Amino acid sequence: MPTQESKTQKGVNTTLERVQFILREDLGYREECLNPDARFEHDIGMDSIDIVDMVLEVEEEFGVTIEDVEAEKIATIGDLVEWLDGRKDKDSDQ
């Protein structure tokens, strides 16, 4: 069984690039919609099932758990990137 390659191993380095890669390659959204200010529901057109799929993909890629309460506060790609970068900061402080 082939192992899943991390997005960082595919030349996708920043948190934003990794999130955009997930949305584009794994979930099939158009690149022109994937800017940091894009709102998941209103601009990208995601419904609640799409958002759950995205959260699962992001959790797997970044090795984090996004609690439902936190996920509800994440409305844009930029919000998600900021939350993920904040998690990295917390993990590096420990």
Residues 50 and 26: their CA atoms lie apart, in Å, by 11
Structure tokens belonging to residue 40: 């998941």
53 is an active site residue: no
CA distance 85 to 47: 25
| Among 26, 47, 68, 91, the one annotated catalytic | 47
**Strand partners of residue 76:** 39
Catalytic positions are 47
